[in-house]
Structure formats: structure tokens, C-alpha cells
Amino acid sequence: MKSLRRELLDWYRTHRRALPWRATRDPYAIWISEAMLQQTRVETAIPYYERFLERFPDIHALATSDLDDVLGVWAGLGYYSRARNLRSAAQKVVNEFDGELPDDVDSLRTLPGIGRYTAGAVASIAFDRPEPVVDGNVARVLSRLRGIRDDVKKAPTVRRLWQEAAALAKGPHPGDLNQALMELGATVCTPRAPRCLACPIARHCEAHRDGDAEALPVKSRPPPPRPVEAVVALVLRRGKALAVRRPNGLLAGLWELPGGEFSGPERPATALRRTLRERVGLIVHRPRRAGEVEHAFSHRRLRLHVYRCERPDGRLRLRDFDGHRWLAPDSLVRLPHGALMRKVLDLVLPPPR
């Protein structure tokens, strides 16, 4: 175990990529980077990380921020609950921890959005606590290193991986050790064609010895994404377009055009009239079809029928939304919105001159 740790640390210190969050010891900045790196590639996260810290340089700035501002800086990064949770957690840190991010896993895990992985990453990287982390990269390295051939999605395998990671982290420099495992998974022990000849721990690796590294980790196939159909409309009244805000779910706090899902034999134009009547109280006549947008979520594949409607009747009554605005159509792009709504706006708004 000692030589394994030493080889990982030596390799990490000479081969690690120069990433902005590795140039700081500020626990707040490290926490922001870890929140962003869940579900997001390093290259994508870098400009967002820099913009976020410029706009909210410390925990007090984030705690007192406007949610729309936070979502605006986050726009395009996806999984918006991460941004909402960062802001709620910052408020909790200010109110309950004197504005200092706690340094132990148990306290960190009381904060919104901080689970086992983020707590371990912040505690070990920012505070050098001997706490393990297991993300996708670490799970791959450990299953190959230890020759774990059980499904990594099953609970007993997950337990085993965390035990292996915990044993490794119980030594000097646990923060660097954890980052070494993650870096090795990202740059050498890659899902396809791992570069075992360049690997600092090849002599300890069971999969390398057995010649089946690429077959690991074993993962059960997820079910195929479920197809879903929905309608949405740019509704115009006296030259202003209606935007509505989601109160909950993955897209909570984000703005969108009104619409909704439908299924069965209902036709899209009929579904549009029904959903607008039910969800925003408006009666639309002769909706004009603008086109279609497709979008893949992790478990769903959405086909969205997009319309333009002018001069609706009825009084606005929101159901399923917690806010609305009537805006000049070209201002819609400035509201915090997700990637799907970006595609819809690209379709229904004239291109900027």
C-alpha cells in the first residue's frame, strides 16, 4: 500500500494538469469546482468556474446573491439544481457555521447539494482530511487496480470501492492522493485504450496483469431513454412574449415558454390549446407551427413541437409555474434558461442583426 501511494503521489506531482482550482487552497473555490465538475467535463467547467468566482468571489457574496444572477452565470452548464444548492448551502454556512465552510465530512453533508463524493473531495483537497472519494474515474481505476469484476452499479460493489478508496486515503497527503486517482482515470486509465505502459501503478494492477483492463469496470446497461412528446409556444400579446418560471424539478428557477407534455392520440396543435388553457389560462387561436426540437435528458428523449401564437384570449392564471413576465421577444434570451429553451428560442426568434 505504501509504495502504491508513493507512486501515485510522485506521478501526480509531475504529471497533473494545471487547472485553475489546483492553484488555490481556498475551500470555497475548491467546493465550487467540485460542484461544477459533477456531470461536467473539465474543459467545459473552466470558463464557468472563472466567471462564477469573478461574480461571487466568496461565500458571503454567494449567500446574498439573487437566484436569477446565480442561474444566469450557470446558464449552459446544465443540472441547475447544483447552482440552487450552492446558493442555499452558502446561506446555511453563513447562518450556521459563521461563514466558514466546515472541514469535516459529517458537517459538510448537512449542506444542500453536498453528498458523499463532494464532502470527501472538499474535506480531503481543501483540508487534507483522510477522507475517500469515488467518482466515475476513481471507480474505473480501482476496479481495474483491484480486479473488481462485479457490476459497479450494485450496492455491494459500491461499498467495496469506497472501502478501497478509504484505505488509500488513510496516508499522507490524502487530498493529492484522491486527485491523483481522479487524474489517472481522466488521462491514463481511460475507459477505452488505457495507457497501461505509461501508468505509474501498472505493477500493482490486477486487470493489467490479467489483460482485461478495457472490460472493466463491469456496468449493467441503463434502460433506453423513454420517448416523450411536448408542445411549447411563443405567445405574443401586444408585441410582448410570455415567459413562465418553473417552481420545482431539475429546471426549478429557470424561465421557459409555456407548454406541456402530451401523449396518446392527441394531435400537437390540440395539445397546445389544451396545455395553454390548463396551465396559463390562455385561449389561443390558429397557432402557427414553427418547427420541432429534439433534446436528450438522461432518462428521456424529448420531441418538442414549437408554435407561435398571437393575440390570445383569456386572463393569465398560472398553474404549475411560480412566476411570469411579458417581455419584448428579443429580451427572452437574457432570462436564465436551460439548453432546451435555448434551442426553442433559436427556432422562434428572428436571428439578431
Instruction: Supply the residues annotated as catalytic.
Output: 34
Nearer to ligand SF4 by Cβ, of 203 and 267: the residue is 203
Is residue 205 near ligand SF4 by the rule CB under 6 A?
yes
Residues 6+ apart with CB under 8 A from 163: none
Identify which range of 23-31, 82-90, 189-197, 321-329 contacts ligand SF4 by CB under 6 A: 189-197
Is residue 341 near ligand SF4 by the rule CB under 6 A?
no
Report how far apart the first and last C-alpha atoms of the chain are (Å, whole number).
63
Q: How many CB atoms within 10 Å of residue 10?
A: 12
Nearer to ligand SF4 by Cβ, of 35 and 145: the residue is 145
- 256 contacts 249 by C-beta, under 8 angstroms: no
Is residue 148 near ligand SF4 by the rule CB under 6 A?
no
Identify which range of 43-51, 173-181, 186-194, 328-336 contacts ligand SF4 by CB under 6 A: 186-194
Nearer to ligand SF4 by Cβ, of 164 and 256: the residue is 164
The CB-of-175 to ligand SF4 minimum distance in angstroms stands at: 20
Kindly tell me which residue out of 207, 230, 232, 241 binds ligand SF4, with binding defined by CB under 6 A.
207
Nine-digit cell at 219? 456496468
The CB-of-145 to ligand SF4 minimum distance in angstroms stands at: 5
Kindly tell me which residue out of 148, 202, 244, 345 binds ligand SF4, with binding defined by CB under 6 A.
202
- 232 contacts 246 by C-beta, under 8 angstroms: no
- d(Cα 212, Cα 35) in Å, to the nearest integer? 33
- 180 contacts 8 by C-beta, under 8 angstroms: yes
Kindly tell me which residue out of 141, 230, 254, 280 binds ligand SF4, with binding defined by CB under 6 A.
141
Phi and psi, residue 47, nearest 5°? -65, -35
Residues 260-299 that bind ligand SF4 (CB under 6 A): none
Nearer to ligand SF4 by Cβ, of 207 and 234: the residue is 207
- d(Cα 53, Cα 58) in Å, to the nearest integer? 7
- d(Cα 133, Cα 166) in Å, to the nearest integer? 8
Q: Which amino acid is at 312?
A: P
Nearer to ligand SF4 by Cβ, of 142 and 233: the residue is 142
Nearer to ligand SF4 by Cβ, of 181 and 230: the residue is 181
- 213-217 CB contacts, 8 Å cutoff, 24+ apart: 213/144, 213/189, 216/140, 216/143, 216/144, 216/147, 216/148, 216/149, 217/139, 217/140, 217/143, 217/144, 217/148, 217/152
What percent helix, strand, coil does the chain show, rounded to 5? 50, 15, 35
What is the DSSP-derived secondary structure letter of residue 253?
Answer: T
Is residue 194 near ligand SF4 by the rule CB under 6 A?
yes
Question: In 56-129, where does DSSP find H-type helix?
Answer: 59-63, 67-74, 81-96, 105-108, 116-127
How many residues sit close enough to ligand SF4 to count as binding (CB under 6 A)?
14
Identify which range of 7-15, 33-41, 100-108, 200-208 contacts ligand SF4 by CB under 6 A: 200-208
Kindly tell me which residue out of 189, 280, 340, 344 binds ligand SF4, with binding defined by CB under 6 A.
189
Kindly tell me which residue out of 70, 201, 230, 232 binds ligand SF4, with binding defined by CB under 6 A.
201
Identify which range of 28-36, 53-61, 192-200, 338-346 contacts ligand SF4 by CB under 6 A: 192-200
Interacting residue ranges for ligand SF4, rule: CB under 6 A: 141, 144-145, 188-189, 194, 196, 199, 201-202, 205, 207-208, 213
